[in-house]
Chains A and B, each alone.
Chain A
């Protein structure tokens, strides 16, 4: 049985003036133990909203319009608040995007880490301090540096601290929301290597939120490509790299220059993402698609290529 299952999840935001923004429109995916899933897409594609809903961390104006989230067979969306508090950090933890902003600048790393541990677990102060030291070692930082303040750490080090804090209560699933976008490539590679070894060591599952398809091969098992709140293609990383079928996935793959492939200006996707307060007719990608046809104004079917590789398109999807 899957550790986490999301089934036809729909989330909307109530905006002022009675408007509704449909951020997530019926997505389904599952995550097994030890598996890493990437949620890929542009800003506004609904990937962060979907991830936040897994921990019930959505803002107040968000409404669940339907669907289910099951963690270890238990329903997350209807569970009482007390149970969710136990789920947050102890079962599912999150590494947030801006390592620079997510730490409190006037408290030492030790204070922040110990506070987080004490808040979630009934352990003695000493045990919490010992845990903090162990966590620092785990992310390869000298535990002596616990006494320092965030500004004394480089960007990469701060991101390591954020990872240590996410691991503080030994969760089963870690959600990384663009954990390396603000970092340079060398630090990014170091962070991925660290996450990879932590996953093996602790049997962690991971959900990685990113817009960069080129990094998937370094850290993920499977991918769900999101556009306008829908999963338009999903499958193993190999399937997406070698046999992408949806025009949007193909465009995303071509948007990053890759050493060893064709040299020159990377491809781009014309137009703007959809205004999601308006109803969508047919395929959401229609207005920006280079292969659009009249039939695309009707709802596209979900096609299966092979095994878990699926895509949402009228076209057969030859590359």
Chain B
């Protein structure tokens, strides 16, 4: 099967606006290295979870795939069904926006409170297909709403976001993504703001859509347990770099990278463990302006050695279709435990 999306050495760099004094002093332009050389492949109908802390660059990468950044800040190549998404003139290929949709985190902020549900859901389609008749447009909106579990679709058309519950709003957001009939949905923390009872319903809907319409997902989350529950593959991201990648089972059951191990360990486990001393990473992700030489995780890594400071480790095969930038000390670790 051919890949749906293929990323090769993708980078996203945002130039920092220099201060007047810096310009006078002739200081070099500073750059935020949000994404640093990511290779990733998404197959049709596949769920890939992109896991990492705030500041790991996971949302920036998601937006890069959705072509929401200006093309000049994005480096490397992003191919959709084998073709680069940007033409040689730097313009987005027509039709791409109908193939990839994005769902954002907060259903309270991502819907315009002054528009009817019909208008909100129809908007992406109106931009894509300008000369669609009103009736056809309405029919598409109703279909999308019903696919998102809002039945009957007609009854929602003239309502406003404030009349809906949190779960219904997130369904409206999903309907807005579905209306263009995408092959890939980039879901950025789609359930982290939702209440327990609604969370699983929305997840169930997303999984059903994959079954019915072969939609692939790039599921962005900081919750590695959720990633494990629903994804086929997991990519663990840190400071714009993928540190570990593989099938959800491999990554969770035999994590090779110390960062993945830390993320798994701190996840609540529904058992009493207040007296246990846990290996907790201190501090936060460092500033992505000055990237460290060597491994990006060195400053917080509990097992960092001299070698980690100098050489940038590469993703290498550590098991069946399982890659990690770090495996050297796994044996050692087992001995220590």
Contact of B195 among A42, A155, A260 (CB under 8 A): A42
B272 touches A241 (CB 8 A): yes
Task: Report if A187-B207 is in contact (Cβ < 8 Å); known contacts: A257-B228, A263-B228, A269-B196.
Answer: no
Q: How far is the CB of A99 from chain B (nearest CB, A)?
A: 13
- Closest Cβ neighbor of A248 among chain B residues: B197
Residue A219 interfacial (CB < 8 Å) = yes
How many residues on the B side are at the interface (Cβ–Cβ under 8 A)? 42
B199 touches A184 (CB 8 A): no
Task: Report if A259-B228 is in contact (Cβ < 8 Å); known contacts: A189-B278, A253-B270.
Answer: yes
Q: Which residues of B (113-167) have their CB < 8 Å from a CB of A? A: 165-166
Residue A115 interfacial (CB < 8 Å) = no
Task: Report if A241-B203 is in contact (Cβ < 8 Å); known contacts: A185-B263, A266-B229.
Answer: no
Q: How far is the CB of A252 from chain B (nearest CB, A)?
A: 6
- Closest Cβ neighbor of A288 among chain B residues: B197
Bound form: Cα–Cα A187–B196 in Å = 21
A42 touches B228 (CB 8 A): no
Contact of B269 among A212, A214, A273 (CB under 8 A): A214
- Closest Cβ neighbor of B167 among chain A residues: A272
A252 touches B272 (CB 8 A): no
A219 touches B197 (CB 8 A): no
Residue B268 interfacial (CB < 8 Å) = yes
- CB contacts (< 8 Å) of A257 on chain B: these are 225-226, 228-230
A156 touches B284 (CB 8 A): yes
- Closest Cβ neighbor of A219 among chain B residues: B274
- Closest Cβ neighbor of B199 among chain A residues: A255
Residue B31 interfacial (CB < 8 Å) = no
- CB contacts (< 8 Å) of B329 on chain A: these are none
A190 touches B282 (CB 8 A): yes
- CB contacts (< 8 Å) of A155 on chain B: these are 54
Q: Which residues of A (193-250) have their CB < 8 Å from a CB of B? A: 193, 196, 211-219, 237-238, 241
Bound form: Cα–Cα A190–B282 in Å = 8
Residue B280 interfacial (CB < 8 Å) = yes
- CB contacts (< 8 Å) of B222 on chain A: these are 184-186
Q: How far is the CB of B64 from chain A (nearest CB, A)?
A: 21
A268 touches B272 (CB 8 A): no
- CB contacts (< 8 Å) of A298 on chain B: these are none
A218 touches B197 (CB 8 A): no
Bound form: Cα–Cα A186–B297 in Å = 14
- CB contacts (< 8 Å) of A101 on chain B: these are none
Residue A154 interfacial (CB < 8 Å) = yes
- CB contacts (< 8 Å) of A261 on chain B: these are 270
Q: Which residues of A (256-303) have their CB < 8 Å from a CB of B? A: 256-261, 263-269, 272-273
Bound form: Cα–Cα A189–B225 in Å = 15
Task: Report if A186-B197 is in contact (Cβ < 8 Å); known contacts: A218-B274, A265-B230, A268-B204.
Answer: no
A43 touches B274 (CB 8 A): no
Residue B224 interfacial (CB < 8 Å) = yes
- CB contacts (< 8 Å) of A259 on chain B: these are 224-225, 228, 252, 264, 267, 269
How many residues on the A side are at the interface (Cβ–Cβ under 8 A)? 45
- CB contacts (< 8 Å) of B281 on chain A: these are 186
A186 touches B199 (CB 8 A): no
Bound form: Cα–Cα A241–B273 in Å = 12
- CB contacts (< 8 Å) of B228 on chain A: these are 257, 259, 263
Task: Report if A213-B270 is in contact (Cβ < 8 Å); known contacts: A186-B53, A190-B280, A193-B280.
Answer: yes
Residue B3 interfacial (CB < 8 Å) = no
- CB contacts (< 8 Å) of B71 on chain A: these are none
A217 touches B229 (CB 8 A): no
Most chain B C-beta atoms within 10 Å of own C-beta, residue among A156, A189, A190, A214? A189
Residue B266 interfacial (CB < 8 Å) = yes
Residue B9 interfacial (CB < 8 Å) = no
B272 touches A237 (CB 8 A): yes
- CB contacts (< 8 Å) of A214 on chain B: these are 268-270
Q: How far is the CB of B310 from chain A (nearest CB, A)?
A: 26
B229 touches A184 (CB 8 A): no
- Closest Cβ neighbor of A184 among chain B residues: B222
Q: How far is the CB of B97 from chain A (nearest CB, A)?
A: 30
Q: Which residues of B (189-244) have their CB < 8 Å from a CB of A? A: 195-197, 199-201, 203-204, 207, 222-226, 228-230
Task: Report if A211-B196 is in contact (Cβ < 8 Å); known contacts: A185-B222, A257-B229.
Answer: yes
Q: Mark B246-267, 1 if CB is under 8 A from A, else 0.
A: 0011001000000000111011
Task: Report if A263-B273 is in contact (Cβ < 8 Å); known contacts: A211-B196, A217-B268, A268-B204.
Answer: no
Bound form: Cα–Cα A264–B204 in Å = 10
Q: How far is the CB of B227 from chain A (nearest CB, A)?
A: 9
A269 touches B266 (CB 8 A): no
- CB contacts (< 8 Å) of A184 on chain B: these are 53-54, 222
**What are 19 A-to-B residue pairs whose CB atoms are below 8 Å?**
A42-B197, A156-B284, A184-B53, A187-B53, A189-B266, A189-B278, A193-B278, A211-B195, A214-B268, A215-B268, A217-B269, A217-B274, A241-B270, A257-B228, A258-B270, A263-B228, A266-B200, A268-B201, A272-B165
**Which residues of B come within 8 Å of A, CB atoms?**
53-55, 165-166, 195-197, 199-201, 203-204, 207, 222-226, 228-230, 248-249, 252, 262-264, 266-274, 278, 280-282, 284
